[in-house]
């Protein structure tokens, strides 16, 4: 169980310092989000935990800070009001509010804000809980402990159900497709570049550990079909794969591909830095992430049964490799400047 002292200003400042001076406001929200998750777990609610915060637990480390809780609840009729009231009482949230639902939305989704008095900002703040009510599309679900270097715990860690690496990757890929199933470039007047790049970063991190392309493809296809139904879009799974590849190539070619909105994507790369404290994130790193996304999308497209991984010892062998048309030969410049990205792009070209 998470100790209440995890929320002290001194503890938050210490956690920030030990994590490369991560943004203290975000650190506090991560802790609050994990407490919310713990409260949901003890409530007896049947749910699957997914999203960026789930990756923090899956990886056993925090590469990217995530401050929202995303869950899937298969029971469409379960009432969360008493559960959230108890969480507020037990974990020091002042109250919660549910956003008004758009009656025209096909997707059965609820958005909650749980409010608390921030010891860092010295004013009211909140964390988000997104509840998606639908059948479970994941093939492999595992139990992992609610344990993080961001919180102090006592006794036995509670466990929460999450999709495994391959399954969450299949899900995440659908979010990095702005023109079809993914986070769009804009919601109203707001540009969504940072949220899109968060998905790209997560996809790249998952690619490093994924090992079951068949299951990735099955989950991806299932989520694509569901998202297209929700959005009433006349697209195919192949269209979504091309959307992923187009946005990946736009980043890899630094805006010279002409099939995606590089202006919004590049702003997102700059804006996401405060959420990624484990490394310095910039365009060159984003190119590596995009190369991995293009590669894994191509693995799905071509129905491959193996995922290849870059290793430093392959650099010597790669000297004789060249990317040829129809892919842009400009990508060959990455062979020296970014061999990891070049590796995945070359392997993509081999398939296409």
C-alpha 211: how far from its chain's center? 18
Give the 3-state secondary structure of residue 188: coil
pLDDT in tens, 44-85: 999 999 998 999 999 876 678 889 999 999 999 999 999 999
Q: What is the 3-state secondary structure (H, E, C) of 264-277?
A: HHHHHHHHHHHHCC
Q: Work out the end-to-end distance of the chain between its first and last CA atoms, rounded to an integer number of angstroms.
A: 49
Of 227 and 280, the structure prediction assigns the larger pLDDT to 227
Q: Using an 8 Å Cβ cutoff, are 181 and 170 in contact?
A: no
Output phi, psi for 72, to 5 deg. -110, 125
How far is the C-alpha of 162 from the C-alpha of 69, rounded, in Å? 12
Q: pLDDT, tens digit, for every residue of 15-54?
A: 999 888 889 999 999 999 999 999 999 999 999 999 989 9
As assigned by CATH, the class of the 4-163 domain is: alpha beta
**How far is C-alpha 95 from the geometric centre of its chain's CA atoms?**
27
- pLDDT (tens digit per residue) in 96-155: 999 987 767 788 999 999 999 999 999 999 999 999 999 999 999 999 999 999 998 999
> What residue segments make up the domains of the chain, in order of their start?
4-163, 168-351
Q: What is the DSSP string of 318-344?
A: HTT----TTS-GGGGGHHHH-HHHHHH
pLDDT tens column, 148-177:
999 989 998 899 999 999 999 999 999 999
Q: What pLDDT was estimated at residue 337?
A: 96
Task: Please choose, from the candidates 291, 65, 109, 338, the residue with its C-alpha nearest in 3D space to the C-alpha of residue 198.
Answer: 65
pLDDT at position 341 is 98
Dump pLDDT digits (tens) for 262-272. 999 999 999 99
Q: How far apart are CA 57 and CA 168, in angstroms?
A: 13
For 290, the 3-state DSSP assignment is helix
Q: Which DSSP string do the residues of 236-257 spell out, in sequence order?
A: -HHHHHHHHHHHHHHHHTTT-S
Backbone angles phi, psi at 240, to 5 degrees: -65, -40
């Amino acid at each position: 169980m998470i100790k209440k002292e995890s929320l002290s200003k001194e503890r938050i400042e210490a956690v920030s310092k030990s994590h490369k001076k991560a943004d203290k406001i975000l650190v506090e929200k991560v802790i609050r989000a994990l407490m919310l998750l713990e409260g949901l777990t003890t409530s007896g609610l049947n749910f699957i935990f997914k999203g960026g915060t789930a990756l923090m637990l899956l990886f056993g480390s925090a590469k990217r800070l995530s401050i929202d809780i995303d869950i899937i609840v298969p029971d469409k009729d379960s009432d969360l009001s008493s559960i959230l009231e108890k969480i507020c009482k037990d974990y020091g949230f002042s109250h919660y509010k549910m956003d008004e639902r758009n009656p025209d939305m096909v997707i059965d989704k609820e958005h909650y804000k749980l409010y608390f008095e921030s010891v860092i900002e010295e004013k009211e703040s909140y964390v988000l809980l997104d509840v998606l009510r639908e059948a479970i599309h994941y093939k492999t679900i595992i139990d992992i402990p609610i344990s993080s270097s961001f919180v102090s715990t006592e006794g036995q860690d509670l466990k929460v159900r999450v999709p495994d690496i391959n399954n969450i990757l299949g899900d995440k890929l659908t979010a990095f497709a702005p023109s079809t199933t993914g986070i769009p470039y804009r919601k109203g007047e707001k540009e969504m570049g940072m949220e899109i790049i968060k998905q790209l970063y997560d996809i790249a991190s998952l690619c490093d550990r994924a090992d079951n392309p068949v299951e990735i493809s099955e989950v991806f296809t299932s989520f694509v079909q569901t998202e297209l139904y929700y959005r009433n879009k006349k697209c195919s799974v192949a269209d979504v794969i091309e959307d992923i590849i187009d946005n990946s190539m736009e980043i890899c070619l630094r805006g010279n591909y002409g099939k995606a909105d590089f202006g919004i994507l590049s702003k997102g790369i700059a804006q996401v830095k405060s959420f990624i404290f484990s490394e310095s994130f910039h365009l060159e790193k984003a190119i590596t992430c995009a190369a991995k996304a293009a590669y894994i999308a191509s693995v799905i497209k071509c129905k491959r049964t193996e995922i290849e991984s870059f290793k430093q010892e392959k650099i010597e062998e790669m000297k004789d490799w060249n990317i040829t048309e129809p892919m842009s030969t400009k990508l060959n410049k990455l062979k020296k400047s970014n061999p990891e990205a070049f590796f995945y792009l070359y392997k993509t070209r081999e398939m296409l």
